[in-house]
Amino acid sequence: MTGPWQQELAEELRSRLSPQAEVAVAGSAREPATLDGWSDLDLHLRLAVDVGLAGLVDPAEVWASDVAETVQEQVVRLVLRDGRRLDLQVRGAGRVRVDAPDEQARARFLAALVAVKTGRGDRLIATHLLLELARTVLVDGMRLRDRDAGTTVHRTGTARDDLAEEVARTAALPLAEALRATCVLLDRGWAELAPGRAPDWSGLDALLDRGRGRGRPTGSA
pTM above 0.85, yes or no: yes
- C-alpha atoms less than 13 angstroms from C-alpha of 171 in its C-beta half-sphere: 17
Residue from 185, 101, 172 nearest 137 by CA: 185
pLDDT score for 199 = 87
pLDDT score for 219 = 36
pLDDT score for 214 = 61
Matching CATH number, 103-211, of 2.60.40, 1.10.287, 1.20.120, 3.40.50: 1.20.120
For the chain, domain boundaries: 5-97, 103-211
Q: Which CATH class is domain 5-97?
A: alpha beta
Distance CA(16)–CA(57), nearest Å, equals: 10
pLDDT score for 217 = 39
Query: Cα–Cα distances in Å, from 99 out to 48, 146, 160, 200?
Result: 20, 28, 32, 19
Query: Which stretches in the chain have pLDDT values below 50?
Result: 1-2, 215-221
Residue from 137, 118, 152, 155 nearest 193 by CA: 137
